Amino acid sequence: MTNIGIFDSGLGGIAVLNELAKKNKANYFYLGDNLRVPYGNRSKAEITSFATDIVNFLEGYDIDYYIIACNTISVTCKDYLREKFKKKFITIADMAIEAAMEYDGDYLALGTKATMESHFYKTTLEAKKPCKVYESKAIDLVNLIEGGVLEGATLNGALDEYLSIANEKKLANIILACTHYPIIKGEISKRLDYKANIIDPAVFLADNIKTDDGANGVNIFMTKESQETSALIKKIMEVDYKLTFIGGL
């Protein structure tokens, strides 16, 4: 029986969890810290401290290994978490690089302020292959998605701003470098005025983890109860799950 801990600052990782649980049987323990979301505009010290709180909570469930389903946490403190908890942490950001390597041409990495300011995508991909990686800080997207704004004028206005460099240069590939963004993948596609490859690392991650060992339980813990949260989880998840609101860490 494999117990997998998986976490994000909020709802984004739910889409990663869904992909995983559809394809690989295991016991999943998911924590989304929607009480303190977004993490992407916070300092390195704060993100590291919040991520430590999350893992301390999940350690109560006899976890075999972790999946960091949050780019912001991945690029900010994956090494710190590995060192502190002495466990394996697979990161969505590393998986995203592997997924992106399968495509030719230049890239737009679309992510949070913290992820883009780390330059992880630009530095890593440009060192691995001849390409140019443009970076776009999508500062408001996580808040809009967590608030249930999944379409409409406000979202379109934000997307037009964050995708402007892609539309201007007709970049071949758009990397969804924040796990919240696959939730609005269709809207992202509609705001591009040309055809691009939209790379969703969650699909790649789920295809590259194999744990079919008979167990199959999906436990979701969220730190703040809200109707939008319950509704979005219901909309995203295609397998059975148990949702518990824990009211903070």
Say whether residue 16 binds ligand DGL (CB under 6 A): no
Part of the chain binding ligand DGL (CB under 6 A), chosen from 78-86, 149-157, 176-184, 190-198: 176-184
Is 70 noted as a catalytic residue in this protein?
yes
Tokens of 59: 């350690």
Among 1, 27, 70, 32, CA closest to 246: 32
Q: Is 25 or 133 the residue whose CB approaches ligand DGL more closely? A: 133
- Tokens 């969650």, residue? 202
Minimum distance, C-beta of residue 62 to ligand DGL, in the bound complex (Å): 25
- Report yes or no: 114 and 51 within 8 Å, Cβ to Cβ: no
Give the span between the Cα atoms of 241 and 179, in whole angstroms: 19
Binding of residue 204 to ligand DGL (CB under 6 A): no
Tokens of 10: 């909020």
If binding is defined by CB under 6 A, does position 38 make contact with ligand DGL?
yes
Residue 32 sits in the site that holds ligand DGL (CB under 6 A): no
Residue 175 or 196 having the CB closest to ligand DGL: 175
Residue 77 annotated in active site: no
Taking the least distance from each CB to ligand DGL, the nearer of 21 and 178 is: 178
Which listed residue (37, 63, 166, 178) is catalytic? Answer: 178
> 182 preceded by cis ω (within 30°)?
no
CB-neighbour burial class of residue 60 (10 A; exposed 0-12, middle 13-18, buried 19+): exposed
Site for ligand DGL contains 8 (CB under 6 A) = yes
Q: Are 207 and 37 in contact (CB under 8 A)?
A: no
Instruction: Give catalytic residue positions.
Output: 70, 178
Query: Interface residues with ligand DGL (CB under 6 A)?
Result: 8-10, 12, 37-40, 70-72, 112, 115, 142, 178-180
